[in-house]
Amino acid sequence: SFTPTSNSVVVIGLGRFGGAVADSLVRLGHDVLGIDENAELVQRWADQLTHVVQADATNTDTLRRLGVADFESAVVGIGNDLEASVLTVLSLVELGIRDIWVKALSLRHGRILERTGAHHVVYPEMAMGERVAHLVTGRMIDFI
């Protein structure tokens, strides 16, 4: 198995968001434990991440068995399944993870995640929409 250091991050949910986070972390030189319940995705990521496991992350005991409690940082990329997103954050809180990052699909979802104990809630679509607005207006200024 995998002994985490301060350089290690666990990424749960390897969809488009979690996958991009995991891939970038590896490129930046971090060790990444990826967890997803989808066997095909686990297979697809097997060569790219330090370690990849197929598991249901809502189960605290499962996460404990995988050694997740030894990680300082976790990123949760589960989005559509609100219940799974909240339960996964709750499990990470129960394991005492110090730095929990999680993606939210809506402000309401984000409020629940904050109350559950997530340290950082990110809204990828909203954040990128805002950024594109700045980029578009910046570009417009160039045309005037």
Find residue 52's DSSP bridge partners.
34
Give the residue with the Cβ less far from ligand ATP, 59 or 138. Answer: 59
Nearest-angstrom CA–CA distance, 118 and 85: 11
Selection from 53, 58, 67, 47 nearest residue 5 by Cα: 67
Minimum CB separation of residue 34 from ligand ATP in Å reads 10
Minimum CB separation of residue 22 from ligand ATP in Å reads 11
Nearest-angstrom CA–CA distance, 70 and 90: 16
Is residue 76 within 8 Å of residue 88, measured between CB atoms? Answer: yes
Closest residue to ligand ATP using C-beta atoms: 79
Give the residue with the Cβ less far from ligand ATP, 29 or 46. Answer: 46
Minimum CB separation of residue 137 from ligand ATP in Å reads 26
**Tokens standing for residue 84:** 């799974």
Give the residue with the Cβ less far from ligand ATP, 27 or 139. Answer: 27
> Which residue is listed with tokens 């319940």?
37
Residues that bind ligand ATP (CB under 6 A): 12-18, 35-38, 41, 56-58, 77-81, 84
